[in-house]
Amino acid sequence: MIVGLTYDLRDEYLAMGFSEDETAEFDRESTISSVETTLAQLGYQTDRIGHIKNLVDRLGKGDRWDLVFNIAEGMYGEGREAQVPALLDAYRIPYVFSGPLVLALTLNKALTKIVVKDFGMATPDHAVIYGPSDIPSVNLPYPLFVKPLAEGTGKGIDPDSVIDGPEQLEKKCKELLVRYNQPVLVETYLSGREFTAGIVGTGDQARCIGVIEIILKDNAEKGVYSYVNKEECEERIIYSLTDQEAVDACSELALQAWKCLRAEDGGRIDIRFDHQGIPHFLEINPLAGMHPEHSDLPILAGLNGIHYRELMKMIMDSAVKKVKNIVHA
Ligand SMILES: Nc1ncnc2c1ncn2[C@@H]1O[C@H](COP(=O)(O)OP(=O)(O)OP(=O)(O)O)[C@@H](O)[C@H]1O
Ligand SMILES: [Mg+2]
């Protein structure tokens, strides 16, 4: 079976003149080569495609693949993560991970929270700031937490994201609106323990493969799993197995969120406790990082005894069912 690889390679964008911040979500060469090598070990023939414009060129030339392993995050537009799967759908080429509906919805953290809340899950109350005139109408109790509406990898998140009063709220929201040129999500600040849960599979076949606690070391930026803490996770973060009670509560919430959002094949849900120890949904990552040592999903799988190759096999076994569906359609 020929598996195409779609991805945004960070070095390629840096060479084009994009900044470190603009390319923070994109993948390192070592991630792509790990995925490629592991797919080969699992018996798949691989073909590197790269970003969406390469995909368009290749499709135009008539190239096709049995399946595409898609981890392209996209550069432009509020549907940036949905673009590759939408294009592949048009050509009836099946792909690994979620489709355009899920990837467009979940890139918007506020709309995702509304859906999750409607299914009865706990998630912090929120407001969305589209422009400076929206700031005075925020009517939530402090402390608050602010972050860009549609980013990942901790972009725009640092200890100043925790907001204690209106002046700080105005300053930080204005700064984020300008810097990221997108709305700002304001949420109630959750002060409790933090976890991330890994899911593999789709629908009824989905299962939680592990929950880990994110523990900040003394030299980490305080109170948040920030951009700097993520980038320097080897020095600043302890990824830890945790007590069964927390594992059960987080896996239940994560699996429920995964199923209600109809995410596919594999990914992560981020969860934080409030001051009473009640788990809240923070966000879902249906395109979770796949670096074997640096990304949270492989790290949590490893801590739960699932090696990288086994994780990749679980994800591929889920995705391959889509190939069969198309063949028999
Ligand atoms: N409402 C909140 N209360 C407390 N902390 C929060 C809240 N929202 C986010 N955080 C902190 O900020 C971190 C990053 O937030 P979030 O997971 O939404 O961002 P991200 O950049 O999409 O992350 P990822 O790298 O997982 O894609 C969380 O892991 C958590 O430490
Ligand atoms: Mg997160």
Residue 247 has which token pair?
């594992």
Q: Whose atoms come closest to the Cα of 122: which ligand?
A: 1
Do 81 and 103 form a contact (C-beta atoms < 8 A)? yes
Cα-based distances in Å from 46 to 2, 26, 43, 49, 313: 6, 20, 9, 10, 15
- What number does the ligand 1 atom closest to the CA of 268 have? 26
Q: From atom 28 of ligand 1, which residue's Cα is the shortest distance away? A: 225
pLDDT of residue 181: 94
User: Which ligand sits closest to the CA of 294?
Assistant: 1
Output the CA 157–ligand 2 centroid distance in Å. Answer: 10
Whether the CB of 152 sits within 6 Å of ligand 1: yes
CA distance 240 to 299: 10
Ligand 1 pocket check for 124: Cβ under 6 Å: yes
C-beta atoms surrounding 274 within 10 Å = 15
Instruction: Report d(CA 152, CA 190) in Å as an integer.
Output: 18
CA of 57 to the centre of ligand 2 (A): 33
Q: What pLDDT is stored for residue 255 in this prediction?
A: 98
Query: For ligand 1, is residue 194 a contact (CB within 6 Å)?
Result: yes
| Other residues' Cβ atoms within 10 Å of the Cβ of residue 46 | 19
Q: Does ligand 1 have an atom closer than 6 angstroms to the CB of 157?
A: yes
What distance in angstroms lies between residue 230's CA and the mean position of ligand 2's atoms? Answer: 10
213-238 exposure pattern, b = at least 16 Cβ within 10 A, e = fewer:
bbebeeebbebbbbbebbeebeebbe
Which ligand places an atom closest to the C-alpha of 195?
1
Distance 92 CA to ligand 2 centre (A): 31
Confidence (pLDDT) at 62 = 98
- pLDDT tens for each residue of the chain, 329 residues long: 999 999 999 999 999 999 988 998 899 999 999 999 999 999 999 999 999 999 999 999 999 999 999 999 999 999 999 999 999 999 999 999 999 999 999 999 999 999 999 999 999 999 999 999 999 999 999 999 999 999 988 999 999 999 999 999 999 999 999 999 999 999 999 999 999 999 999 999 999 999 999 999 999 999 999 999 998 999 999 999 999 999 999 999 999 999 999 999 999 999 999 999 999 999 999 999 999 999 999 999 999 999 999 999 999 999 999 997 775 54
Nearest to 31 by CA among 312, 315, 235: 312
The pLDDT assigned to 153 comes to 87
283 lines ligand 1 (CB under 6 A): yes
pLDDT at 329: 47
Return the amino acid letter for 125: D
Q: What is the pLDDT of residue 327?
A: 57
* pTM as predicted: 0.95
Q: CA 46, CA 35: separation in Å to the nearest integer? A: 10
Q: How many residues does the chain have?
A: 329
272 ligand 1 Cβ < 6 A: yes
- For 75-105, give one letter per residue: b (16+ CB within 10 A) or e: beeebbbbbbbebbeeeebbbbbbbbebbbb
Which one of 163, 272, 273, 276 would you pick to mutate in the ligand 1 pocket, going by the greatest count of ligand atoms within 8 A of its CB? 272
